């Protein structure tokens, strides 16, 4: 049995947050480069080049790629053969506090009622799952309010079916316009209940590959195609590139329900993984 302690988790979280905020991941950069080559709208091409230049400057100068350094969501996958010698939540929040103070990241977390800032960007939002193995896998996602505020959830009628789901997601993208800073990544949760579909949508954004289920993969492609036909474009100023990828997670639900959530992610697509 592997033992993992406070310092390991704290330092791993802190470093992952730094990397997510300062270094645009290769996966997202490749999407930008390829989309710029495909795009036929001059202004859209110019905007994507500006995004690329901004990401390169952030990496070179060790400054955040966006001024909104977000509220941190952490998906913690704990191996059955791992023994934690500390409180996981305390260690994660210590890493968040360390990163936001050490790297001068904007502290954006406030009491929901009084609006008084917590001054260290804690608490993080932590989701825990048990998995086979002897590792602790943490995915850290500092997500800004611009994209999060445009996310939506609905309890559709089961008779709305797949077409209703697609319409709901596309309408969310159209109504959001340029506010979530497209081109976007979309996480979609289908099924479960009120809370699980939202968590599935957020977790879907941590993916970089299409669904292994052919039916779900087809829905991902159909939604992406429909969203790009809206011509919202980069930063909402028009173009063929509105959505880079759509990732769908789905589980069974009650026969009388069809819960659907779409979690919108901006072009920065900030998330970083650490395995301990």
Question: 102-117, pLDDT tens digit by residue?
Answer: 999 999 999 999 999 9
Q: What is the pLDDT of residue 226?
A: 98
To the nearest whole number, what is the mean pLDDT of the chain? 97
Q: How many residues does the chain have?
A: 276
Q: Which residues pair with 84 in a beta bridge?
A: 4
205 three-class SS = coil
Q: What are the tokens at 187? A: 């996480």
Burial class (CB in 10 A: 0-12, 13-18, 19+), 81: exposed
Q: Is the pLDDT of residue 1 over 90?
A: no
Describe the crossing of helices 214-228 and 161-176 by its angle, rounded to 10 degrees: 40
Residue holding tokens 């952030």? 58
Q: What is the pLDDT of residue 36?
A: 95
Asked if 108 and 70 touch (Cβ cutoff 8 Å), the reply is: yes
Asked if 230 and 108 touch (Cβ cutoff 8 Å), the reply is: no
Q: Distance between CA 49 and CA 244 in Å, rounded?
A: 15
Band of the pLDDT at 101, cuts 50, 70, 90? Answer: very high
Burial class (CB in 10 A: 0-12, 13-18, 19+), 246: buried
Considering the entire predicted model, what is its pTM?
0.95
Q: What is the pLDDT of residue 98?
A: 98
Q: What is the pLDDT of residue 22?
A: 97
Q: What is the mean pLDDT of residues 71-99?
A: 98
Residue holding tokens 């608490």? 123
Task: Report pLDDT digits (tens) over 115-163.
Answer: 999 999 999 999 999 999 999 999 999 999 999 999 999 999 999 999 9
C-alpha angle with apex 250: 246 to 252, nearest 5 degrees? 160
Residue whose C-alpha is closest to residue 73's, from 147, 137, 124, 135: 124
Q: What is the pLDDT of residue 105?
A: 97
Task: Report pLDDT digits (tens) over 24-45.
Answer: 999 999 999 999 999 999 999 9
Task: Report pLDDT digits (tens) over 189-202.
Answer: 999 999 999 999 99
Q: What are the tokens at 244? A: 């880079």
Band of the pLDDT at 174, cuts 50, 70, 90? Answer: very high
């Amino acid at each position: 049995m592997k033992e993992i302690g406070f310092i390991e988790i704290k330092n791993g979280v802190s470093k992952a947050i730094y990397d997510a905020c300062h270094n645009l991941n290769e996966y997202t950069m490749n999407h930008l480069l390829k989309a710029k080559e495909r795009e036929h709208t001059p202004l859209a091409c110019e905007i994507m080049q500006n995004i690329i230049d901004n990401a390169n400057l952030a990496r070179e100068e060790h400054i955040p790629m966006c001024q909104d350094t977000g509220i941190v969501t952490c998906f913690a996958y704990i191996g059955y053969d791992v023994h934690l010698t500390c409180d996981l939540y305390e260690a994660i929040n210590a890493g968040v506090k360390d990163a936001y103070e050490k790297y001068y990241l904007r502290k954006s977390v406030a009491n929901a009622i009084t609006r008084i800032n917590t001054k260290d960007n804690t608490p993080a939002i932590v989701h825990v799952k048990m998995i086979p193995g002897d590792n602790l896998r943490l995915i850290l996602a500092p997500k800004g309010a611009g994209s999060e505020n445009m996310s939506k959830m609905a309890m559709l009628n089961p008779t709305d079916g797949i077409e209703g789901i697609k319409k709901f997601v596309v309408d969310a993208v159209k109504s959001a316009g340029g506010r979530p800073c497209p081109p976007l990544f979309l996480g979609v949760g289908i099924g479960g209940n009120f809370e699980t579909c939202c968590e599935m949508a957020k977790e879907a954004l941590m993916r970089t590959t299409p669904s292994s289920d052919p039916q779900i993969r087809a829905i991902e492609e159909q939604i992406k195609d429909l969203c790009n036909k809206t011509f919202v474009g980069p930063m909402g100023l028009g173009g063929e590139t509105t959505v880079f990828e759509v990732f769908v997670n789905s589980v069974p639900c009650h026969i009388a329900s069809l819960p659907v959530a779409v979690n919108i992610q901006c072009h920065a697509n900030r998330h970083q993984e650490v395995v301990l």
